[in-house]
Structure 1
Amino acid sequence: MKSRLALPADEAERVRFKRVVRAADELFRTYGFRGVTMERVAREAAVAKATLYSYFKNKDELFVAVSNRMAALLAKAFTGALEAGGKLDDRVAAAIVTRRRLAFELYRLSPHAEELHSAKSKLAGEIFAEAEREMEARLVQALRDDTALKPGAERLTRALYHGSAEIASRCSGVAELETELRAFVATHLAGARALARRH
């Protein structure tokens, strides 16, 4: 995924910029989109309001930057789990669990999840859509490494990726989410291999 953040050239400014985005992320999750002001972000990030406004002209732009950071973190975590050593099935399960757990922890556990989701859809929908497409493409590539799964890799990816979102939406906690998703992935991969053997 290509970064949409235009980071300042100066190292000290980059550090300050990243601190602002992290502070805004925490504030949005704690107080919701409507409960956050640019003044509050400047105070939390320990920067002058003028500095904050030199980075972002308004709260919408700041939220887009926070969303861009979050989408990049999700994609990086997913890819890292998928490319780690070990058996393919374990890596696929780890990637799916990691993707859904991060979203669960970062947004579903926020008391402002619905409001944040609405703002995300309105202001940063394409950023997350691009990250989702990247993660799905990486999963297709990984599944194609298995001879039995290769012919149906795209269809299997859609089932795993979108089915896992539905399961995660019904889970009430992280432990349940992890257990349910690991079982879901294992069942799908075993089923896909069994079907491949029949053909």
Structure 2
Amino acid sequence: MQGALSPVRAARRERLLDAAETLFVWQGFRATSIEGIAEAAGMSKVTLYGYFRDKEAVFIAVAERIADTMASAVEAALEGETPFPAPLAAALIAKHRIVLDRVQRSAFASELFEAKAAHVTRRFKALDEAILRGLAQALVREGTPHADAEESAQLLFCAANGIANRAADADVLAARIERLVHAVVAT
């Protein structure tokens, strides 16, 4: 789609993406149909095709929207006014809460984070790299030498991923990541 959408078209597109994300999370990619997405959004298939060429394009748009949501949440956390090292924990928690929220709803949610399209994979990889840079920059601003900041950022990022893979819920996730950040920054 070229150019900016009008407010009405943008709202319709968001409604389609909301419906599609719900169906992809609950049913998976294979069981979700264009008809089902259109029906769940209260629109016709013709309207849906005015926004997306096929089901894969809808799926990619949903995955990209999740990546954008993560990027915004992480950026806001890193730019927050809370005392150091809280922004580091908040950034990692924000990223993983978005994933955990969807994964807890369904076994199919992981499909959204393992998108088949190469550019979506690149988008999530670029997001991870931006998070690493943001963590390292925050550490440098607080006086950590650059090389140590990069190593600490990598450690925090990888450990937070491990914590997220085992977290039963968002509260456990947050508490463990906060402890991790304080332990790494204190050393």
TM-score (normalised: structure 1) = 0.85
Partner residue in 2 for 1:24: 20
Residue identity in the other structure for 1:51:
T
**2:174 corresponds to 1:172:** no
Counterparts of 2:65 and 2:56, CA distance in 1: 14
Q: CA deviation at 1:108?
A: 4.2
Partner residue in 2 for 1:138: 134
User: Structure 1 regions of 5+ residues with no counterpart?
Assistant: 192-199
Partner residue in 2 for 1:196: none
CA 1:16–1:32 in structure 2 vs 1: closer, same or farther (change >3 Å)? same
- The size of the alignment, in residue pairs, is 185
Partner residue in 2 for 1:96: 92
Counterparts of 2:106 and 2:84, CA distance in 1: 33
The partner residue of 1:106 within 88, 102, 107 is 102
TM-score (normalised: structure 2) = 0.90
The partner residue of 2:48 within 24, 49, 52 is 52
Q: Contact 1:32/1:116 (CA < 8 Å) preserved in 2?
A: no
Q: Contact 1:7/1:17 (CA < 8 Å) preserved in 2?
A: no
Partner residue in 2 for 1:188: 184
Counterparts of 1:7 and 1:106, CA distance in 2: 30
RMSD: 1.8
Q: Secondary structure at the match of 2:143?
A: coil
Partner residue in 1 for 2:152: 156
Q: Secondary structure at the match of 2:50?
A: helix
Counterparts of 2:111 and 2:7, CA distance in 1: 34
Q: CA deviation at 1:130?
A: 1.8
CA 1:33–1:82 in structure 2 vs 1: closer, same or farther (change >3 Å)? same
Bigger drift between 67-76 and 43-52 goes to: 43-52
Counterparts of 1:88 and 1:159, CA distance in 2: 17
Partner residue in 1 for 2:72: 76
Q: CA deviation at 1:10?
A: 2.3
Q: Secondary structure at the match of 2:74?
A: helix
Counterparts of 1:163 and 1:6, CA distance in 2: 40
Counterparts of 1:6 and 1:71, CA distance in 2: 20
Q: CA deviation at 1:140?
A: 1.9
